[in-house]
């Protein structure tokens, strides 16, 4: 399996046992997420905005509107940090300090550059659509030239990347084990409710299978992940 090669900036110094260095885990986290948090700097002020994204191979694509002030700033190819975090549960231990959160996160550093070629942009939008709702693109009207122009797509390579995973039971100090408190994990996942019809929906049109059975890839209840380490005696 191909491994990530951490740089000085992405090598995980804090809780290095939580660092994960294989691309399969990186890809799985990115493919399961729905929005990323993109950080960029204007003047000396950092901004962090949520936005849709897609992964294709070793490239991350970010989606926004050309009218957006924040993404406009990025359009020239600015330095960004893109973070995707999946929360898998709460970890309740016998001391406040050792409480934790089960999570999987990816941090990508690099330069985001706009995709300008209309054909390439259309191809990427298709990939974005398929990542978010597989099967949807073919059912609806594709972007027209005006809409395509109003959409900003940014690309950044998955080069300088760090991946962290925390899962497994709480790690208490031995001297806390005689506590009378319950300890364990409370797993969480995303639940999809029944689709809500658009009030303007024409009679006789029903939600397709890809909506009724919608599920993010890899989203399962709190299964141990391959290549990760369990727990920690720290509180973060």
Nearest distance from C-beta of residue 24 to its own copies, angstroms: 21
| 163 class by beta-carbon count within 10 Å (0-12 exposed, 13-18 middle, 19+ buried) | buried
- Choose, by CB under 8 A, the member of 48, 58, 73, 227 that binds its own copies: 48
Asked if 161 contacts 108 with a C-beta cutoff of 8 angstroms, the reply is yes
Cβ at position 58, least distance to its own copies in Å: 20
Length of the chain: 236
What is the C-alpha separation between 157 and 127, in angstroms, rounded? 16
How many angstroms separate the Cα of 83 from the Cα of each of 35, 60, 62, 109?
9, 11, 12, 9
Site for its own copies in 105-144 (CB under 8 A): 105, 107, 109, 125, 129, 132-133, 136-137, 139-144
Q: How far is the CB of 226 from its own copies (least distance, A)?
A: 19
User: Per CB under 8 A, which region of 20-28, 53-61, 92-100, 113-121 contacts its own copies?
Assistant: 92-100
Q: How far apart are alpha carbons 192 and 187 in whole angstroms?
A: 16
Asked whether position 1 contacts its own copies by CB under 8 A, the answer is no
Looking at beta carbons only, is 129 or 228 nearer to its own copies?
129
Site for its own copies in 164-193 (CB under 8 A): 169-170, 172, 176-193
Task: Output the smallest distance, CB 131 to its own copies, in A.
Answer: 12
* Of the residues 2, 16, 87, 134, which one makes contact with its own copies according to CB under 8 A: 87
Using DSSP's 3-state secondary structure scheme, residue 37 falls into strand
Whose tokens are 């690099």? That residue is 110
- Binder among 68, 75, 123, 229 for its own copies (CB under 8 A): 68
Residue of 96, 99, 104, 49 lying closest to 71 (CA atoms): 49
Residue 31 engages its own copies in binding (rule: CB under 8 A): no
Smallest gap from residue 179 Cβ to its own copies (A): 7
Query: Across-strand partners of 53?
Result: 62
Rounded to the nearest whole angstrom, what is the least distance from the CB of residue 3 to its own copies in the complex?
23
């Amino acid at each position: 399996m191909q491994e990530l090669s951490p740089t000085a900036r992405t090598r995980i110094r804090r809780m290095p046992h939580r660092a994960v260095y294989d691309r399969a885990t990186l890809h799985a986290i990115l493919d399961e997420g729905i929005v990323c948090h993109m950080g960029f700097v204007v003047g000396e002020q950092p901004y962090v905005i949520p936005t849709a994204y897609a992964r294709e191979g070793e490239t991350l694509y970010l989606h926004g509107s050309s009218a957006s002030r924040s993404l406009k700033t990025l359009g020239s190819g600015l330095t960004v940090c893109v973070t995707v975090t999946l929360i898998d549960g709460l970890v309740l231990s016998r001391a406040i300090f050792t409480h934790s959160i089960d999570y999987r996160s990816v941090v990508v550093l690099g330069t985001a550059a706009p995709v300008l070629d209309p054909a390439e942009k259309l191809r990427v939008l298709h990939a974005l659509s398929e990542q978010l709702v597989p099967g949807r693109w073919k059912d609806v009207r594709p972007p027209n030239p005006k809409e395509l122009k109003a959409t900003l797509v940014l690309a950044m390579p998955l080069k300088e990347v760090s991946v962290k995973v925390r899962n497994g039971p709480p790690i208490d100090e031995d001297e806390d084990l005689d506590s009378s408190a319950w300890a364990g994990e409370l797993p969480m996942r995303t639940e999809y409710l029944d689709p809500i019809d658009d009030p303007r929906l024409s009679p006789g049109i029903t939600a397709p299978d890809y909506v009724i059975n919608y599920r993010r890839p890899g989203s399962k209840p709190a299964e141990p992940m391959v290549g990760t380490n369990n727990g920690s005696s720290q509180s973060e």
